[in-house]
Chain A
Amino acid sequence: MSDPHQPLSPAVFHILLALADEDRHGYAIMQDVEARTDGIVRVGPGMLYGSIKWLLADGYIEPSVRRARQEGERRRYYRLTPAGRALLRTEAARLEAAVSLARSRRVLPRRS
């Protein structure tokens, strides 16, 4: 299992995030990430599927059978496993901690 204290790469984080609310296929993940970050983060197919391979192997995501059957497409849809959701939550928490620290040191404005 991955070390909870080690940060995730942004690509992986965004992929997990993309699957948080909906099962998607690869291309849709790419589009979602790009749309959500206003084009700042763009994941290429090599990067994307390399990450997907790893996430699959470690059990953080799994193929979404339900969706595929529904659509009748040959595209593979993915969805988060509970482990994947936990990983995502851990990462989000880590980021939040970092942001709080920044706020306490007045690097970021406090929330009013």
Chain B
Amino acid sequence: MPFVRLYRLLLYAYPPALRRELGAEMTDAVEGRWQSAGTARARLRLLAWLLADFATSLPREWGAAASRGRRPAPPARRVPTMGLLHDLRLALRSLIREPAFSVGAIVTLGLGIGASTAIFSLAAATLGRPLPIPEPDRVVQSRWTWSLPDFRDLEAMQTAFTQVAAFSGLEFGLERGGETVALSGLAVTADFFPIAGVEPLVGRLIGPADDVAGAPAIAVLGERLWRRQFGASPDIVGTPIHLSQRPVTVVGVVPARFRGFSLSEAPGIFVPMAAVPELGTGFLAQASVLNSRTTVWQQVVGRLRPGVDVMAAQAEVQAIYTRTHPRNTNRIEEPVVLVPVAARAIGLESSDELRGFLHLLGGATAAALLLACATIANLMIVRMQGRRQELAVRAALGGGRRRLTQLLLAESLLVGAGGAMLGVFAARVVLQLLASYSLPGGIAIGDLHLVVDGRALGVSVAAGVLTSLLFGAAPMWQASRVDPRAALGDGGIRSSARQPLRSALVGLQVGVCVALLAASLAFGRALHHAFGDDLGFDLDRTAVVTAKTTLGRIPADGVIRFQQAALDALADRPGIAAAGWAAMRPLQGRMQFEAVIPGDTSPRSRDIADRAIDTNLVTAGFFEAMDVPVLTGRPFNSQDRAGGQRVAIVSEALSERLWPGEFAVGRVLSLDTALRDPDQMLTVVGVAGDVRRGVGTDRTPMLYLPLFQHVEFATLGDHYLIVRADGVDPASAARRAAETLQTVDAAVPLGGIQTMREHLGSTLMTHQLGLTLFALFASLAVLLTGLGLYAVIAYAVAGRAREIGIRVALGASRRTVVALTARQGLGPIAGGLALGAGLFALAAGAIRGFMFSLPVLDVWSMAAVAVGVAGLAAMAMFVPIRRALGVDPSSALRG
């Protein structure tokens, strides 16, 4: 019987003498017991009982064997001991009798565990092992993007990698049941999946045979898409689907946890690179895109050959690129940089913001856990002090230190278990809440695969249990060593007037409080500044409606017709003051051209960053809708269309750059771009106010071109309708506009509605996350610290009641009594302020990056924190002071 065999193994834990003598009989007894236990429930209970017996008899037997006298000591003579289960039951009862303590300890521990576990899990998912690919540190990615012909050259000539691959993100339209579903996916070359080392869930993945011209059109689905749209049908392999209005055969499915080489949402679909002209939308729908050396749209990754390091590979790639690009052929001057793919995924190489932010969060969580432990410690100390009499009595009755420690262990375990359960629940809730935010680098937390990290949970639970053990055991041992007669004859509970440990703990709590408050204020100020900042256009009454014209594969003139019809239909709509189209999304979209001024012979800067100008293609009504003023000249109107005079509008900053100190209207410039006829001249007809791309950035010199005069851009990407509300809130205005768009042409898919404020907010997600978390932690800290302060002062007052009585009897004024009481709290508060200042100084460096050049700590914040702490102290002292004032000198003297 396996169970009995297990028990026989357990016997080896006992001293060998016992095992040899009585082992066989013990096994027999257990066997008999096991056989008589019929139901599974009985067996389970038997198991628990045997374990408890094992746990209690084992130390006793070993203790007996080790004792000097050869005789085994008789089993405990003084107090009945019946095992761990009994201890737990006793502990449970004593905890239930003191709900204030138990609930306080469990809730505190649970919150601390939940917060720290959640944040740690977040860090583990991003910094720990973000990408589920084998040996991710051997896979590197190029910092800049490549053109496809350049990649093919690299592929042919490289030796440093076992494989290289290129990929690029695309948008597709999947036709299902008469509707078009917008999908994001990847176009990949032959070695993409081998580098990633991923196995298909069903079917096969894209291979070399698929990435050649003329190969049949195939696709690999992502698991989520397979489940959602195709019901996880096992017959998916070989099924034709309609992608971007072309028939494509599905050959396999990849598991959901595979996200390519980035942390964003898992691609819904993968297609071979050769299929892009067939399936791509917008400018990717042209066959020339595969051969163009000037279109740099490929991400390039490679798996390093064993023994090759990154620097060597980087040098080889650079050499290959330089060799294939003699000096005057459009060469990118920036050196080749290869970055480990895991770092690239979280944008680490482009900014240390993410790491700094996560460290900040980690610090806050450690602080929260520290706070929780300090609170529990305080609770334990208070509780043990209150039980000094009980402990003394137990000692008198022969309770023994070991017995008491066993009880304490049981209580700590129960509190730890309760806290852990609550903590796991809290951690899940926190992770859910976090999912709607994003991290620096634009990583949406909701896209990460977040699980409650076991390590963090274990550490936090251990911390909590250890704290309660430590701070419960010390006073307990102290109490049990005390001569019982002295304790009993005392006539009651007397807490020590000096309580340095408790004051120190409360000081710690105050310090954490101060630091968290200051941090929340910092983030709050940053957000306030961000939302109040004038970006040059209206944030309150505008909204954006996205028209996904590329998904519908509408030809250029169809797009123009649609847009014009929409503007006409919106012209008289109530609630909409103005509306206009833009090809680039405000705050986010970016398109750059170089402008050349004819006759300008001044030397052109070699740095492309200096020459590039942000450009947007807009229609009439745009400036009015955005509330960007046209300072001189005029905005675009209905005359600015194909066939009319070629015009442009410049922003103030651009005007100053191109024609410093001069009048821009009437000036001429031309666009230097591969896609345009370089001889076309544009006349400036207006100068518009400057806008800013984001909070804390400088004014952006902008060039505006009339959308209807540049038909070739009509199919390059989606189009955005800006509407300004009149008398209604922007969301309603946007909804009305969307309805109008549907009536104009129902075939054009709409991508969503966002007010400009929401739009701005989505670019400030990280700050909002920081504010939310810090404010949450700070509120918790304030609550717990307030309670701690109160307890310290109250107990101090109680302990000094006699002294106060004497002083009052001797004629001390009320003010003296108040001062005496207040002084109890002074130590922890002063210490806490200093500690908090120190903690905040440590974090200041990390916070500074989010402050938009605001100072991390300004006078108002410091004042606010000081007032906050003072208020907290005052509230905590209120009741004890009243009690101190109410001390009756005669009874105090008598007592």
Contacts and interface: CB of A to CB of B under 8 A. Distances in A.
A47 B78 contact: no
A8 to B, nearest CB: 7
A50 B72 CA distance: 9
A67 B54 CA distance: 29
A27 B33 CA distance: 8
A16 interface: no
Interface string B712-742: 0000000000000000000000000000000
A10 B64 CA distance: 19
Nearest to B74: A54
Contacts of B71: 54, 57-58
B53 A46 contact: yes
A32 to B, nearest CB: 12
B56 A45 contact: no
Contacts of B889: none
B18 A30 contact: no
B73 interface: yes
Contacts of A26: 22, 25-26, 28-29
A8 B74 CA distance: 9
Contacts of B81: 9
Listed from nearest, the 10 A-B pairs whose CB atoms lie closest are A44-B53, A46-B57, A27-B29, A49-B22, A45-B26, A26-B25, A46-B53, A27-B32, A54-B72, A45-B29
Contacts of A12: 74-75
B217 to A, nearest CB: 72
A7 B78 contact: yes
Contact of A50 (B57, B78, B80): B57
B319 interface: no
A27 B80 CA distance: 22
B77 A6 contact: yes
Contacts of A49: 18, 22, 25-26
A48 interface: yes
Interface string A51-62: 111100110000
B54 A46 contact: yes
B50 A50 contact: no
A44 B72 contact: no
Nearest to B32: A27
A75 interface: yes
Given A44-B52, A51-B74, 9 more contacts: A7-B78, A9-B74, A9-B76, A26-B25, A27-B29, A27-B33, A45-B30, A46-B58, A50-B60
A42 B76 CA distance: 16
A44 B50 contact: yes
A89 interface: no
B80 A44 contact: no
B490 interface: no
A53 B21 CA distance: 9
A52 B18 CA distance: 10
A26 B28 CA distance: 9
A61 to B, nearest CB: 13
B888 interface: no
Given A9-B80, A26-B29, A50 B75 contact: yes
B5 to A, nearest CB: 15
29 contacts: A9-B75, A9-B76, A9-B80, A11-B75, A26-B25, A27-B25, A27-B32, A44-B49, A44-B53, A44-B56, A45-B50, A45-B53, A46-B26, A46-B53, A46-B56, A46-B58, A46-B61, A48-B26, A49-B25, A50-B64, A51-B74, A54-B73, A54-B75, A57-B71, A57-B72, A58-B74, A74-B24, A75-B25, A75-B28
A2 interface: yes
B574 to A, nearest CB: 83
Contacts of B56: 44, 46-47
Contact of A27 (B28, B61, B72): B28
B29 A30 contact: yes
Contacts of B76: 9
Please classify how large the interface on chain B is, using the bins under 10, 10 to 19, 20 to 34, 35 or more.
20 to 34
A25 interface: yes
A53 B33 CA distance: 21
A30 B25 CA distance: 12
Contacts of A36: none
Contacts of A48: 26, 29
Contacts of A53: 18, 21-22, 72
Contacts of B52: 44
B18 A44 contact: no
Contacts, number: 88
Interface string A1-41: 01000111111100000000000011100100000000000
A87 B24 CA distance: 28
A58 B72 CA distance: 9
A45 B770 CA distance: 58
A95 B779 CA distance: 59
A103 interface: no
Contacts of A46: 14, 26, 53-54, 56-58, 61
B83 interface: yes
Interface in A71-102: 74-76
A12 B74 CA distance: 9
B34 to A, nearest CB: 11
Nearest to B65: A53
B42 to A, nearest CB: 12
Contacts of A8: 77
A2 B50 CA distance: 29
A6 B28 CA distance: 33
Contacts of B73: 54
A2 B73 CA distance: 11
B253 to A, nearest CB: 55
A62 B604 CA distance: 110
- Most-contacted residue by chain B among A8, A44, A52, A76 (CB, 10 A): A44
Contacts of A51: 74-75
Interface string B15-49: 00010011011101110110000000000000001
Nearest to B13: A46
A89 to B, nearest CB: 18
B53 A47 contact: yes
B28 A52 contact: no
B460 to A, nearest CB: 34
Contacts of A74: 24
A83 B673 CA distance: 112
B369 to A, nearest CB: 38
- Most-contacted residue by chain B among A6, A53, A57 (CB, 10 A): A53
Contacts of A54: 64, 71-75
Interface in B54-70: 54, 56-58, 60-61, 64
A50 B65 CA distance: 11
- Most-contacted residue by chain A among B21, B57, B73, B78 (CB, 10 A): B57
B33 A30 contact: yes
B639 to A, nearest CB: 99
B81 to A, nearest CB: 8
B47 to A, nearest CB: 12
